[in-house]
A and B are shown apart, each in its own frame.
Chain A
Amino acid sequence: MPLQATYYDGQSAARYSVNISIVDAELIVITAKDFQHQIPLREINFPPHIGNTLYTFYLPQGAACETTSYEDLMAMLPSNGQQQVHSAIHRWENTLPLVGVALVLAVLLVWAFMQYGIPMLARDVAKRIPPEMETALAAEAMEILDSHIFEPSKLPPAKQQSLRNKFHTLAENPGLQIEFRHSEKIGANAFALPGGTMVFTDGLVNLAEHENEVISVFFHELGHVQQRHIMQRILENSFTALMLVLLTGDVGSASSLAATMPTLLLQAQHSRKAELEADSFAADALKQLGISPEHLGNMLERLEQQAKHGQIPDFLSSHPSTSQRKNFLKDK
């Protein structure tokens, strides 16, 4: 039974009403009032159906045919592997339960990838990054910090050197570079850059009541360096950004913003994990030297009291709560 359709010849925008029929399962016959075309089926491009729109298939020489019923057309044609894939996708999109399944699967995949996939990938790539690149990055970062945030340390040079010597004997890391800086705004703090550069602020050194406390912070930062946390975090951020670009590429910036929120929560969680790992590393190293890990706990507590910002809820914070860390260290 012939199917009614609209024919466009591709030379002008004129519409022609036509009838379509299939002959011998290999020829398509298009009949209009003033003309008739016969075209082998294999020369015709049948694109995937989309939604419930009018269906258009494309003929050679730039012509096209449009029909209101995709199903009737498909019923007339011999079955075809490619068509079945297209139909499968189309069916999945249009069946509510399947859409629900797709939604759940998609959410699970995104979560799993952000929770496990990206960190694993980042850890792997971080291990392969040559030390020269890490030191280059650290040097750049140090330059920026020195020009905008830090002033030279006000600690007596003898004290700086003594601490530096002490740290170098405690750890056999060739990339180790100890720096002391002064900053009113930052106060007491210590952090590590990729490659082994560690920065201690005057505030932190002065806050310590016992040399072992500074040593415990040193081991904590060393933990970050050994685990190559810093490079990992940088890579994680890039991979997450890339994934968001892939997912939201054609949807615009509002959805990118929405998608970053769960990422921030997950990143905060990963960061807390990194801190606990560094704490654990420090505790083990301290015990080996016969120093009590409680020194780190005491230092953390004092640092928290010195901090100028208020309490951030635990799940948003990039650091585990100090009480949590103290308890962890006490048990070690």
Chain B
Amino acid sequence: METTTNTNGLSLNPEQTNELPLQFTGNTREYFGIWIVNILLILLTVGFYTPWAKVRTNRYFYRNTLLDNSPFDYLADPWAILKGWILGIVIFIAYSVSTAVFPLLNLLFMLLLFLLVPVLVVKAMAFRLHNTSYRNLRFSFKKNYAAAFKYFVVWALLLPFTLFLMLPSYIYRQKKFIVNHSRFGSSQFEFKGTEVKFYEIYGIGLLILIGGGLAINMIAGSILVSGDFDFATLSGSSADGEPLPLLQFAMMIPMVVGTGLCYLFFFAYINTLIYNLIWNRSEIAGHTFTSTIKVKSMAWLYLSNGLAIILSFGLLVPWARIRMARYKINHLSLISLGDLGQFIAGETRHQEAFGDQVGDIFDLDIGL
């Protein structure tokens, strides 16, 4: 049995890889209670309970995620989040009022937000990771605003000029940036995936979308032709404004639904494959990961969760969240090359919650 020492100084035994699956132990019954009490307290405190609610929710999900029988943890202080949250609300009110009076300000706000994205992303990642721990060692995010500006702003500006053909490159760089700047203790994560893989995923995804779209149009077209319908009456109201006959309207529904499902599948395909790619090609201190989520399952989850939430006026949100977390977490494993206890602490510095909260309020999608 030969041991090697990798670049982080950890002793590894290549022959003794150990698959450590992650485990999600949360359930809907518990989480529903937490979720509804959160909402009640938020209402009773006119919103001020929100930071505590958020911390509680994250602690529930993190602490119910186990790796090698130890839970993850979320350590954020609600008071720290409160400051960022109040700032976010003030900005939101200023935005709402000023754009109601001067609708053109909307453009200015959006532009400002766009330029600030690198700051928000870096700060939000730093806050989130610094407040995440495993076995009492914190994660962290190395802040690099210049790189963030390059990948999130400059590259985004390039996209329209290349007709979005460079989107896979753009996404590749962003994901790589986030992974490579993330740390656990003093060890760095590293993304080893290739740019080509991203093109593959988006390329095939696009073919699926186009193929599906064509299929639907052909089916709809053949039904129309066989049924002797008139395109003019189908595409809008007739000259004297009569409402569409019920039957023709009914014909449009399957087409709309079909197209919707196509987009859903495309979305699920891209997300699933990219998520798997990132986990499967990332490593830390020689340990690697395996993610085995499937496109069909994810598509079904998105669809059923979405429908359940809408039909239940939001009451099934806890069920949907637990379901999604359980599926994704239970299909993730760490392939460890040695004792996990060997990770050591890194430098920890207090992080402000500003980026995290403003990102939340403007519903920015940050992270993996």
State the A residues within 8 Å of B (CB).
6, 8-15, 47-48, 50-54, 56, 62-64, 66, 89, 92-96, 98-99, 102-103, 105-106, 109-110, 113, 133, 136-137, 140, 144, 234, 238, 241-242, 245-251, 253-259, 261-262, 308, 310
Smallest Cβ distance from B286 to chain A, in angstroms? 14
Cβ-defined partner of B42 (8 Å) among A136, A140, A246: A246
Categorize the interface residue count of chain B: 35 or more
Residues of A within 8 A of B134 (CB): 13
Question: When A and B form their complex, which 6 residue pairs have the shortest distance between CB atoms, in order from nearest?
Answer: A8-B136, A14-B341, A93-B33, A53-B63, A13-B343, A13-B135
A12 touches which of B32, B47, B73, B344 (Cβ 8 Å): B344
Is A12 a contact partner of B342 (Cβ separation < 8 A)? yes
Inter-chain CA distance A105–B41, complex, in Å, is: 10
Are A245 and B341 in touch, CB under 8 angstroms?
no
A254 to B96, CA, bound (A): 22
In the complex, chain B residues whose CB is within 8 Å of the CB of A133: 101
Interface string of B39-74 (1 = CB under 8 A from A): 110111001001001101101100110000011010
B37 and A89 within 8 A (CB)? yes
With A234-B100, A249-B360 known to touch, is A53 a contact of B343 (CB < 8 Å)? no
Q: Do the beta carbons of A258 and B341 come within 8 Å of each other? A: no
A20 to chain B, nearest CB (A): 16
B75-102: contact bitstring with A at CB < 8 Å (1 yes, 0 no)?
0000000000000010011001100111
Of chain A, the residue at the smallest CB distance from B74 is A50
A137 contacts across to B, CB distance below 8 A: 100-101
A250→B360 contact, CB < 8 A: yes
Interface on B for A, CB 8 Å cutoff? 25-26, 29-34, 36-37, 39-40, 42-44, 47, 50, 53-54, 56-57, 59-60, 63-64, 70-71, 73, 89, 92-93, 96-97, 100-104, 134-137, 185, 237, 241, 243, 305-306, 309-310, 312-315, 317, 320-321, 340-345, 360-361, 363
Q: Which of B100, B136, B306, B312 contacts A10 (CB 8 A)?
A: B136
How far is the CB of A100 from the nearest CB of chain B, in Å?
9
Residues of A within 8 A of B137 (CB): 8, 10, 12-13
Where chain A touches its partner, the secondary structure class is helix
Contact of A249 among B29, B54, B237 (CB under 8 A): B54
* Contact among B40, B70, B361 for A109, CB-based, below 8 A: B40
**CB-defined contacts of A262 to chain B, threshold 8 Å:** 313
Contacting pair A99 B96 (CB below 8 A): no
Q: How far is the CA of A258 from the CA of B134 in the complex (A)?
A: 35
> In the complex, A10 Cα to B70 Cα: how many Å?
14
8 sample A-B contacts, Cβ–Cβ < 8 Å, listed by A number:
A54-B71, A66-B70, A238-B100, A246-B42, A250-B53, A254-B305, A255-B314, A257-B309
CB contact under 8 A between A99 and B36, given known A238-B100, A251-B317, A308-B241: yes
Q: Which residues of A lie under 8 Å from residue B26 when comparing CB positions? A: 51
- Do the beta carbons of B135 and A105 come within 8 Å of each other? no
Please report the C-alpha to C-alpha distance between residue A144 and residue B100 in the assembled complex, in whole angstroms.
Answer: 13
Q: Is the CB of A50 within 8 A of B33?
A: no
Q: Are A50 and B101 in contact (CB under 8 A)?
A: no
Whether B341 and A13, one on each chain, are in contact in the complex, defined by CB atoms closer than 8 angstroms, is yes
Question: Within the assembled complex, what's the spacing in Å between the Cα atoms of A270 and B26?
Answer: 41
Question: In the complex, which residues of chain A have a beta carbon less than 8 angstroms from the beta carbon of B101?
Answer: 133, 136-137, 140
B136:A250 contact, CB within 8 angstroms = no
